[in-house]
Structure 1
Amino acid sequence: MKSIRNTRMMSYGIQYVLMIFGAVIFMFPLVWMVSRSLMGLADLYTLPPRIFPSESTLQAYREIWDIKPFGLFFKNTVIIVVWTVLGGTISSALCAFGFARLRFPLRNLIFGIVLTTMMLPGAVTMIPVYVLFSKLGWVNSLLPLIVPSFFGGGAFNIFLLRQFFATIPKDFDEAARMDGASTWAIFWRICLPLCVPAITVVAVFAFKGAWDDFMGPLIYLNSEEKFTLALGLFSLSPARVGVASFANTAHVMAACSLAILPVITVFIVAQKRLISGTVVSAGIKG
């Protein structure tokens, strides 16, 4: 009995050591970024490189607002993110509810076509979509980065929510209809509250996709006052012409540290939903 207990404790110890080792490896880039943002010039360019500053300073955090209009970049990004999360979550939930709970001709065929769009690389549709938005006069505006999210929110999100809606017993719908509830009431008052974990996952994916998006703003935005945070970080790079005499590594790391804070905050708030076994099991059923 004692040997079994010792073996189990040794197994747990090895697991914890491996998890701590993995956590250190994955956390090191984040620690390096924050540490470099707090360094002065003397620490930034020493050899061998320092991991931690000899003397911490917030000078880089104060100066980045004068080098580039990061307040405007944050504002543009927040506008895109808010509308993208709302549009993507609501539209994907509506599409998924229709595929899971309603009966209409060619439903399975249409759903299959939606799923096949997941296999299309973005490079295939990039030029046709740009031509479309160009003819609409939306280039150099935030509309190309917002409006598409209101048309389904993405095939993966529709698939995930459809599988979740399919696990809800149909008896709920029948009981609600007997009480006089409409299809919209069934969706809004019954099905949607039961799908909060999956809705949270979709919202977090939409948030991260919009916040981190670089290619979309790079294609459609030309003037700096329309730039998002991703383009702002790119323009801050010391390799960019006209910025090298002002920006250094500490400025870039300071801007990146501020940019990653909302992502970490959202993950901390929504982590229970993201790792919930209910979401995973419901997403693969049906």
Structure 2
Amino acid sequence: MVTTTAVAPVDASPTAPGPGRAGGRWYEGAGAHVVLILVLVVALYPIAYMFGTSFKSPQEILNNVNVLPREFTPGNYADGWIGIPGVTFGRFFLNSAVVSAGVVIGNVVACSLAAFAFARLKFPLRGVWFAIMIGTLLLPHHVLIVPQYVLFNSLEWINTPLPLIVPKFLATEAFFVFLMVQFMRGIPRSLDEAAEIDGCGPYRRFFFVILPLTKPALVTTAVFSFIWTWNDFFTQLVYLNDLEAYTVPIGLRLFLDSSGQNAVAPMFAMSVLSLVPVFLFFLVFQRLIVDGINTSGIKG
């Protein structure tokens, strides 16, 4: 007896997906990539122009609008670092580093403690106090400048970094408190119950259970606190009056006040250097954000 087996016909049409062609739709998404590349070019053009201008002479800055300079002038960085007579630009970098570090530590510590209280503890009028805290986000920052200045002046804190750092240790940044509260509410309550069974009190639950799982929110708070403080101009200008206490944003403004157009090239050079700490800080902590999400142990 001879048996026959039916063989299904092979579709040899040109529309059938072939190997390496992703279903014949390799071109899909190309338009979106082109748009993203164009947006990236537009976003990076000011930085590229600033970097190229930092190597131009003062005369070329006025005549050459291209990104690349016709003649490189690396001496702008040395002239800019000298800064104002008697105070080098390194002093401004040191002041900004001290203020930024203090603000980052204050926001991370105080806001995480306040967020833990709102998210995991029960106390009278918790909802009312949380609503009041959220309501402070509606207050413009400039409305608080005058009463805060009067208060800090009575404490003799003017012309010191204290008005910029000390309030952060009192959880005055409601945005970061709200950010951490929302993150902590997503942590399973069973972890708190298990910790309580093992004899952990509120402080131990915070430090050994909640805080390690809140690593992405803590890193986000640190990154934005550093960037906002490093780039802050108005608040630092209000409280810092002595040249020795100036930070980087105020120091950059001094180039125009002291020498006019002749100091534009060194100002661009110092502007490029002022971006380096922000870039490095964000680059390092961006990796920690990803690591914190991968190792948090929370499954959706």
TM-score with structure 2 setting the length = 0.85
1:149–1:8 Cα change, 3 Å: farther
- SS of corresponding position for 1:190: helix
8 Å CA contact retained: 1:95, 1:158: yes
- Out of 43, 48, 70, which is 1:54 matched to? 70
Instruction: Determine if the alignment matches structure 1 residue 176 to structure 2 residue 188.
Output: no
Show the 5 A alignment for 1:198-277.
198-237=217-256, 240=257, 242-244=258-260, 247-272=262-287
- Out of 43, 64, 84, which is 2:60 matched to? 43
Q: Deviations over 1:91-117 (max 9, x none)?
A: 000000000110000000000000000
1:122–1:275 Cα change, 3 Å: farther
Q: Deviations over 1:128-184 (max 9, x none)?
A: 111111111111111101111111141110111011111111111121122122211
User: What CA distance in whole angstroms lies between the structure 1 residues aligned with 2:175 and 2:113?
Assistant: 14
Partner of 2:205: 186
Number of equivalences: 275
Shift of 1:267: 2.1
Partner of 1:67: 83
The letter of the residue matching 1:268 is L
8 Å CA contact retained: 1:73, 1:227: yes
The letter of the residue matching 2:213 is L
User: What CA distance in whole angstroms lies between the structure 2 residues aligned with 1:235 and 1:261?
Assistant: 20
1:34–1:171 Cα change, 3 Å: same
Unaligned ranges ≥5, structure 2? 1-14, 295-299
Instruction: Determine if the alignment matches structure 1 residue 86 to structure 2 residue 105.
Output: yes
Show the 5 A alignment for 1:31-180.
31-46=48-63, 49-68=65-84, 69-180=88-199
- SS of corresponding position for 1:9: coil
- SS of corresponding position for 2:28: helix
User: What CA distance in whole angstroms lies between the structure 2 residues aligned with 1:172 and 1:75?
Assistant: 42
Q: Deviations over 1:29-85 (max 9, x none)?
A: 000000000123453232x52320123231000111223321111111111011110
Partner of 1:282: none
The letter of the residue matching 1:121 is P
Q: Deviations over 1:185-227 (max 9, x none)?
A: 1101110100101111011111111111111111111110010
User: What CA distance in whole angstroms lies between the structure 2 residues aligned with 1:278 and 1:228?
Assistant: 34
Show the 5 A alignment for 1:13-32.
13-32=30-49
User: What CA distance in whole angstroms lies between the structure 2 residues aligned with 1:122 and 1:74?
Assistant: 25
8 Å CA contact retained: 1:88, 1:206: yes
User: What CA distance in whole angstroms lies between the structure 1 residues aligned with 2:111 and 2:33?
Assistant: 40
User: What CA distance in whole angstroms lies between the structure 2 residues aligned with 1:253 and 1:8?
Assistant: 47
1:244–1:258 Cα change, 3 Å: same
> Which deviates more, 101-110 or 11-20?
11-20
- SS of corresponding position for 1:222: coil
8 Å CA contact retained: 1:236, 1:243: yes
Find the structure with the greater CA-based Rg. Answer: 2
8 Å CA contact retained: 2:252, 2:267: yes
User: What CA distance in whole angstroms lies between the structure 2 residues aligned with 1:263 and 1:16?
Assistant: 27
8 Å CA contact retained: 1:81, 1:210: yes
8 Å CA contact retained: 1:36, 1:249: no
User: What CA distance in whole angstroms lies between the structure 2 residues aligned with 1:127 and 1:175?
Assistant: 48
1:103–1:219 Cα change, 3 Å: same
> Which deviates more, 22-31 or 169-178?
169-178
8 Å CA contact retained: 1:85, 1:207: yes
Instruction: Determine if the alignment matches structure 1 residue 10 to structure 2 residue 31.
Output: no
